[in-house]
């Protein structure tokens, strides 16, 4: 059984947007398509990145459920 994903790690990866790596937290949660979208659009011009700050718990929970 795989180790569950950690919300703290998700927030840390989300913070990577400060240095230009938007969407890495989505790759961590197993959301490859939206992770690529965030990466190539700078987090949907920053709007998606801010929304993910408030949705991080549910993103990580979904990632844990899909494992």
Evaluate whether residue 47 is within a structural domain. Answer: yes
Evaluate whether residue 49 is within a structural domain. Answer: yes
Contact indicator for 3, 19 with CB cutoff of 8 Å? no
Contact indicator for 43, 15 with CB cutoff of 8 Å? no
Evaluate whether residue 23 is within a structural domain. Answer: yes
Contact indicator for 15, 9 with CB cutoff of 8 Å? no
What's the structural domain count of the chain? 1
The arithmetic mean of pLDDT across residues 10-31, rounded, is 94
Evaluate whether residue 2 is within a structural domain. Answer: no
Contact indicator for 43, 23 with CB cutoff of 8 Å? yes
The predicted pLDDT at position 18 comes to 86
1 pLDDT higher than 80: no
Which structural domain range is residue 53 located in? Answer: 7-65
Evaluate whether residue 1 is within a structural domain. Answer: no
């Amino acid at each position: 059984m795989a180790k569950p994903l950690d919300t703290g790690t998700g927030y840390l990866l989300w913070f990577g947007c400060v240095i230009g790596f938007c969407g890495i937290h989505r790759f961590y949660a197993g959301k490859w398509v939206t992770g690529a979208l965030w990466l190539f659009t700078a987090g949907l011009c920053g709007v998606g990145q801010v929304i993910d700050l408030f949705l991080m718990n549910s993103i990580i929970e979904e990632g844990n459920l899909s494992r």
